[in-house]
């Protein structure tokens, strides 16, 4: 009887192991990623790299197709007189981070995995985890001290010999992330970043788009289920709502007056003017980090990781609306979503994102 139970237990464990192995393969074949890079086998890494290479080719090809269609940048032709979108005449060379030793050039799109790659660059610059984590400097300033900006002439000279990459994100998710990080919650510290953003943007937005201006408390404008505040650090009541911020974006000429955290991708990293070797996405962050690291030959220097509040490692290649966006988009009506989409339409087209699901959560 005991031997029989041992055999049953042995075979049960074996069956469970096989099921788990098959499930991992299923996840990889469907574009999903595992939480930990350390758990990946060589076969799984090879599969992810193969998927990333194929996906990257599609992304670069689509960018070129859309740039040609809209007659932008270096794809502009005299045969097409109409120009709907205008890119800057040259790339913003000064915003890039250049690692000349490892031959990397990165355009940092903020609110699109930028903290992860800032940390990677700090490591590549020879700094330890302890040094980085103990620094009182903002991470972007810390890394900029290691990799100073280059002049346009220097950048033009070295760019062809480097691996040029950019990480992007669903435009709506990036906009919401920027709002929640910079404008939703004003802290008492006068030197805080939220205080800076309130003075520069927040109070003007509230004054223009809120009936009663700053005399009307934010919490009286929102219904339960339309926001998600930290219970230990809720807004003080004078900050703009997400809807007010969206109306500000819709009414603003973003080609001349956009902050780095919500400027359209096509204006900031100019993909129609500068050809990137790799276009990564937050939605496939593990796979794309792995591809960049292996393509640059940096396997012994850094490894994929994630340094953000949200965890993208369970998502698929086909983007789905986040749970937090489902909450905040209930502040908007469908015409708000439509107008916001039109404002960022070229980003949607260039990087093959879809806005359809977001209409579901907006009100009529």
Task: Give the C-alpha separation, 359 to 364, whole Å.
Answer: 9
What digits encode the pLDDT tens for the residues 30-59? 433 334 566 778 898 899 999 999 999 999
Closest CA to 63 of 87, 47, 82: 87
Least confident of 114-118, 159-163, 307-311: 307-311
Least confident of 61-65, 131-135, 218-222, 349-353: 218-222
What is the share, in percent, of the chain residues with pLDDT greater than 70?
Answer: 84
Tell me the mean pLDDT in the region 137-144: 93
Identify the pLDDT of residue 327: 95
Tell me the mean pLDDT in the region 314-341: 85
pLDDT at 312 over 60: no
DSSP 8-state class, residue 113:
S
Closest CA to 323 of 307, 310, 339: 310
Please return the burial class of 143, using the count of CB atoms within 10 Å of its CB with bins 0-12, 13-18 and 19+: buried
Looking only at the bridges linking them, the beta strands covering 163-168 and 104-107 are: parallel
Name the pTM for this structure. 0.85
User: pLDDT band at 218, cuts 50/70/90?
Assistant: confident
Task: Give the C-alpha separation, 100 to 211, whole Å.
Answer: 53
Count of C-beta atoms within a 10 Å radius of residue 51: 20
pLDDT at 238 over 70: yes
User: pLDDT band at 24, cuts 50/70/90?
Assistant: very low
Instruction: Tell me the pLDDT of the chain averaged across its residues.
Output: 86
Task: Give the C-alpha separation, 260 to 243, whole Å.
Answer: 20
Identify the pLDDT of residue 25: 41
Closest CA to 354 of 328, 316, 318: 318
What digits encode the pLDDT tens for the residues 257-307? 889 999 999 999 999 999 999 999 999 988 999 999 999 999 999 988 776
Identify the pLDDT of residue 10: 58
Closest CA to 303 of 116, 74, 86: 116
Identify the pLDDT of residue 219: 83
User: pLDDT band at 6, cuts 50/70/90?
Assistant: low
User: pLDDT band at 236, cuts 50/70/90?
Assistant: confident
What digits encode the pLDDT tens for the residues 44-98? 889 999 999 999 999 999 999 999 999 998 888 876 656 678 778 789 999 999 9
Identify the pLDDT of residue 86: 78
């Amino acid at each position: 009887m005991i031997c029989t139970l041992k055999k049953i237990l042995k075979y049960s464990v074996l069956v469970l192991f096989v099921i788990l192995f098959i499930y991992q393969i299923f996840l990889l074949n469907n574009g999903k990623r595992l939480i930990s890079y350390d758990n990946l086998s060589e076969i799984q890494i090879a599969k992810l790299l193969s998927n990333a290479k194929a996906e990257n080719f599609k992304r670069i090809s689509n960018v070129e197709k859309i740039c040609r269609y809209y007659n932008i940048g270096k794809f502009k032709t005299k045969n097409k007189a109409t120009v709907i979108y205008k890119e800057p005449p040259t790339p913003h060379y000064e915003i890039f981070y250049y690692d000349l030793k490892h031959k990397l050039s990165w355009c940092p799109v903020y609110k699109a995995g930028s903290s992860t790659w800032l940390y990677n660059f700090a490591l590549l610059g020879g700094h330890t985890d302890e040094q980085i984590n103990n620094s009182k400097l903002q991470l972007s300033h810390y890394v900029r001290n290691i990799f100073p900006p280059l002049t346009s002439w220097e950048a033009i000279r070295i760019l062809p010999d480097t691996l040029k990459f950019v990480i992007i994100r669903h435009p709506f998710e990036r906009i919401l992330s920027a709002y929640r990080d910079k404008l939703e919650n004003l802290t008492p510290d006068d030197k805080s970043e939220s205080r800076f953003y309130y003075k520069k943007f927040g109070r003007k937005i509230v004054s223009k788009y809120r009936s009663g201006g700053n005399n009307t408390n934010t919490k009286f404008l929102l219904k339960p289920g339309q926001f998600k505040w930290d219970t230990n650090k809720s807004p003080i009541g004078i900050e703009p709502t997400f809807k007010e911020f969206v109306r500000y974006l819709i009414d603003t000429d973003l080609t001349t007056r956009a902050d780095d955290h919500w400027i359209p991708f096509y204006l900031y990293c100019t993909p129609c003017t500068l050809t990137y070797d790799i276009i990564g996405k937050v939605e496939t962050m593990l796979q794309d980090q792995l591809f960049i690291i292996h393509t640059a030959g940096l396997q012994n220097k850094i490894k994929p990781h994630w340094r953000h509040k949200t965890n993208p490692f369970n998502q698929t290649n086909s983007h789905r609306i986040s749970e937090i966006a489902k909450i905040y988009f209930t502040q908007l009506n469908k015409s708000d979503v439509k107008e916001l989409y039109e404002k960022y339409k070229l980003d949607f087209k260039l990087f093959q994102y879809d806005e359809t699901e977001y209409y579901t959560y907006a009100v009529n």
